[in-house]
C-alpha cells in the first residue's frame, strides 16, 4: 500500500471525527457508524446490489429522480448510506420501505468499512457528489467493484486545494470509473486534476430532476400564512409581504434582519421566514433572536405546542401566537418546499462573503418564487448563469446591491410576478438534464452487471 494513502488514512480520520461532532444527533445510531448493520437477505447471483452514498441532506433531492427509476426494478437491490443524522432521517422516512437498507455510512477506516461491505456486498457503488471516503474507494478498487460519481462539481477553492495536493488528490478523484459533472467548467477542472477525458460526462445538475412539492391552493396558502402568525385573524385586507431566507449560513440571517428593518422603515409590512442550511444552528440563532425587538415563532414549537425542548423559551406558545409574528423560524427539515409557496421573495444563502459555494435555486424556481442570490454561487455557477439569463432571478454584486435587489422585488409586484414566471419556465426546461444522467446510469447497469 502506498505511503501517500497510509498518510491520508491517518490524517483524514481525526478530521472526519471532529466534523462529525459538529452536527447535532451524531451519537444517534452510532452502531451503524461502526459497521454494525442489519443483515440483508442473501440474494447473491439473483439481483444486482447497488450501494448509493448520499453525503448530506443537500443531495437528497438530487438522488430522488434516480431512485424513483431504479426502485421498481426487481432485479436491483439498493442500500443507501449518508453521513449526517438529518439526511438519514429524511432518507429513512422516504425510502426505508422500498429499498433494502438505509443507514449511516460507517467511519472511513478499514475495520468498519470491511464490516459494512460484508453485509451490503455491492456490485456497483454510486456516490452523489464527491465524498472523502478514501477507504471505501480503495476497498472497492481492491474488490474490482466499479464506483460512479454523479452530480459532481468543483468550486474554485476545492479545485485549488486538490491541485495543490496531487499526492492525495488521486485517491479522491481518480478511483471513479465514470464521473458525471454538472458543467463544462467542472469537466475541465477534473481533467486538470488528472482524470482521463473518457471518464467524464457533462450531464447537468441532478437536482433539476427533483419532484416539485404539490402546489398549495389559494385558501391553503392563506391558512398557512395565518398559522405562521403573519396575518392577523382580526384584520382584513392586510397587505403583508414575506421574505424567506433559503438555506442561510452564519451572518446571512443578520443581513436579512437588516433588510426587513429597512423595508419596515419604508412603510412595508415585511415578515421574514428563516430556513438555515443546518437546523443544528437553531439554539445559537435562537439565543441571538431572544434579544431582538421582534416576535419570533419556531416551527418545532408550533408543531409540538410546547416548549419543553427549547430551553431558551420563556413564554408559552399560545402567548407568542397571540402576537403578530415578525420572524418564523423553520428549524426542521423537509418543510421548506411548502413554506416557499407563502413567500413573495426568496434570498438564497451561502452566497454572501465569507461564504462562496451558494445553494441550489431549483426548489424556489419550481414554485415560481422570484429569488435574489448574493455574489457567490460557485457550486451552482452554470445553473445561476442560465437562470439569470432567462430572467428568472436577480444577483447582487456585493452586500448593498443584494439588499437593493431584495427591496426592489418586495416593492414591485409586477417585477416579482414576471421573474417568478420566468423562474418556473426555466425549471421546467432544466429538469430534462437529469434524464441524461439516469439514462447513462441505466446503460452502465445494463452493460456491466445486469
**What would the pLDDT profile of 103-154 be if each residue is shown by its tens digit?**
999 988 889 999 999 999 999 999 988 877 888 888 998 999 989 999 888 8
Mean pLDDT of 297-308: 63
User: Quick one: 226 and 190 in the same domain?
Assistant: no
Kindly tell me if the per-residue pLDDT of 259 is higher than 80: yes
User: Quick one: 101 and 234 in the same domain?
Assistant: no
Whether 129 and 172 have beta carbons less than 8 Å apart is answered as: no
Band (2; pLDDT cuts 50, 70, 90):
low
Kindly tell me if the per-residue pLDDT of 440 is higher than 50: yes
User: Quick one: 437 and 414 in the same domain?
Assistant: no
Band (447; pLDDT cuts 50, 70, 90):
low
Return the C-alpha cell found at 134: 478514501
User: Quick one: 249 and 318 in the same domain?
Assistant: yes
> 103 pairs with which residues across the strands?
81
pLDDT at 25: 62
pLDDT at 373: 97
Band (436; pLDDT cuts 50, 70, 90):
low
| Cα separation, 53 vs 37, whole angstroms | 15
Return the C-alpha cell found at 35: 459497521
User: Quick one: 247 and 358 in the same domain?
Assistant: yes
CATH number, domain of 61, equals 3.40.50.11720
Band (243; pLDDT cuts 50, 70, 90):
very high
User: Quick one: 206 and 349 in the same domain?
Assistant: no
User: Quick one: 170 and 267 in the same domain?
Assistant: no
| Cα separation, 276 vs 271, whole angstroms | 16
| Cα separation, 205 vs 360, whole angstroms | 10
Residues of the chain with pLDDT > 90: what percent? 43
Range of the domain at 344: 218-430
**What would the pLDDT profile of 314-362 be if each residue is shown by its tens digit?**
444 444 444 589 999 998 877 899 999 999 999 999 999 999 889 999 9
Return the C-alpha cell found at 330: 423553520
User: Quick one: 183 and 229 in the same domain?
Assistant: no
User: Quick one: 167 and 300 in the same domain?
Assistant: no
Kindly tell me if the per-residue pLDDT of 265 is higher than 50: yes
How far CA 70 is from CA of 73, 123, 213, 445, in Å, comes to 6, 14, 21, 10
User: Quick one: 54 and 174 in the same domain?
Assistant: yes
Closest by CA to 152, choosing from 261, 40, 53, 44, is 53
- Give the chain as a 3 state SS string: CCHHHHHHHHHHHHHHHHHHHCCCCCCCCHHHHCCCCCCCCCCCCCCEEEEEEECCHHHHHHHHHHHHHHCCCCCEEEEEEECCHHHHHHHHHHHCCCCCEEEECCCCCHHHHHHHHHHHCCCEEEEECCCCCHHHHHHHHHCCCCEEEEEECCCHHHHHHHHHCHHHHHHHHCCCCEEEECCHHHHHHHHHCCCCHHHEEECCCHHHHCCCCCCCCHHHHHHHHHHHCCCCCCCCCCCCEEEEEEEECCCHHHHHHHHHHHHHHCCCCEEEEEEECCHHHHHHHHHHHHCCCCCEEEHHHHHHCCCCCCCCCCCCHHHHHHCCCCEEECCCCCCHHHHHCCCCEEEECCCCCCCCCCCCCHHHHHCCCCEEECCCCHHHHHHHHHHHHCCCEEECCCHHHHHHHHHHHHHCHHHHHHHHHHHHHHHHHHCCHHHHHHHHHHHHHHHHCC
CATH number, domain of 280, equals 3.40.50.2000
Return the C-alpha cell found at 129: 457528489
HSE-up (13 A, CA, CB side) for residue 91: 32
Sign of torsion over alpha carbons 422, 424, 425, 430? positive
Kindly tell me if the per-residue pLDDT of 432 is higher than 70: no
pLDDT at 44: 66
Tell me the average pLDDT of the chain.
84
Return the C-alpha cell found at 230: 403573519
Closest by CA to 316, choosing from 326, 328, 304, is 304
pLDDT at 5: 62
**What would the pLDDT profile of 187-239 be if each residue is shown by its tens digit?**
999 999 989 999 998 888 888 777 777 889 999 999 999 999 998 755 556 68
User: Quick one: 177 and 30 in the same domain?
Assistant: yes
Cβ-proximal residues to 308 (8 Å cutoff; 6+ apart), any chain: none
pLDDT at 312: 44
User: Quick one: 7 and 47 in the same domain?
Assistant: yes
The number of distinct structural domains making up the chain is 2
Amino acid at each position: 500500500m502506498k505511503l501517500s494513502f497510509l498518510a491520508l488514512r491517518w490524517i483524514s480520520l481525526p478530521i472526519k471525527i471532529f466534523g462529525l461532532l459538529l452536527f447535532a444527533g451524531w451519537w444517534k445510531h452510532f452502531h451503524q457508524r461502526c459497521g454494525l448493520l442489519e443483515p440483508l437477505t442473501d440474494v447473491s447471483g439473483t439481483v444486482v446490489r447497488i450501494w448509493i452514498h448520499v453525503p448530506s441532506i443537500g443531495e437528497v433531492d438530487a438522488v430522488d429522480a434516480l431512485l424513483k427509476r431504479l426502485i421498481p426494478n426487481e432485479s436491483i437491490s439498493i442500500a443507501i448510506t449518508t453521513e449526517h443524522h438529518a439526511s438519514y432521517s429524511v432518507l429513512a422516512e422516504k425510502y426505508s420501505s422500498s429499498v433494502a437498507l438505509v443507514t449511516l455510512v460507517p467511519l472511513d477506516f478499514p475495520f468498519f468499512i470491511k464490516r459494512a461491505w460484508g453485509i451490503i456486498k455491492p456490485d456497483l457503488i454510486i456516490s452523489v457528489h464527491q465524498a472523502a471516503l478514501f477507504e471505501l474507494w480503495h476497498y472497492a478498487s481492491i474488490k474490482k467493484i466499479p464506483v460512479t460519481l454523479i452530480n459532481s462539481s468543483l468550486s474554485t477553492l476545492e479545485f485549488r486545494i486538490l491541485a495543490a495536493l496531487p499526492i492525495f488528490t488521486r485517491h479522491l478523484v481518480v478511483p471513479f470509473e465514470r464521473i458525471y459533472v454538472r458543467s463544462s467548467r467542472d469537466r475541465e477542472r477534473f481533467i486538470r486534476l488528472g482524470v482521463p477525458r473518457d471518464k467524464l460526462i457533462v450531464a447537468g445538475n441532478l437536482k433539476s430532476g427533483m419532484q416539485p412539492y404539490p402546489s398549495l391552493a389559494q385558501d391553503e396558502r392563506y391558512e398557512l400564512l395565518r398559522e405562521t402568525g403573519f396575518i392577523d385573524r382580526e384584520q382584513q385586507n392586510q397587505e403583508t409581504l414575506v421574505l424567506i431566507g433559503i438555506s442561510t449560513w452564519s451572518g446571512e440571517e443578520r443581513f436579512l434582519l437588516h433588510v426587513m428593518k429597512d423595508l419596515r422603515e419604508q412603510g412595508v409590512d415585511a415578515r421574514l421566514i428563516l430556513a438555515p442550511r443546518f437546523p443544528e444552528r437553531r439554539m445559537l440563532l435562537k439565543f441571538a433572536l431572544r434579544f431582538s425587538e421582534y416576535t419570533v415563532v419556531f416551527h418545532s414549537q408550533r408543531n409540538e405546542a410546547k416548549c419543553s425542548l427549547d430551553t431558551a423559551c420563556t413564554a408559552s406558545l399560545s402567548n407568542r401566537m397571540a402576537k403578530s409574528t415578525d420572524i418564523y423560524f423553520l428549524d426542521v427539515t423537509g418543510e421548506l418546499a411548502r413554506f416557499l409557496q407563502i413567500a413573495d421573495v426568496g434570498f438564497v444563502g451561502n452566497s454572501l462573503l465569507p461564504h462562496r459555494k451558494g445553494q441550489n435555486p431549483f426548489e424556489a424556481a419550481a414554485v415560481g418564487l422570484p429569488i435574489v442570490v448574493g455574489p457567490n454561487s460557485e457550486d451552482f455557477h452554470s445553473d445561476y448563469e442560465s437562470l439569470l439569463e432567462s430572467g428568472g432571478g436577480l444577483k447582487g454584486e456585493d452586500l448593498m446591491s443584494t439588499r437593493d435587489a431584495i427591496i426592489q422585488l418586495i416593492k414591485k409586484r409586477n417585477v416579482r410576478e414576471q421573474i417568478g414566471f420566468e423562474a418556473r419556465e426555466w425549471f421546467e426546461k432544466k429538469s430534462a438534464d437529469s434524464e441524461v444522467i439516469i439514462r447513462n446510469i441505466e446503460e452502465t447497469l445494463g452493460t456491466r452487471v445486469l
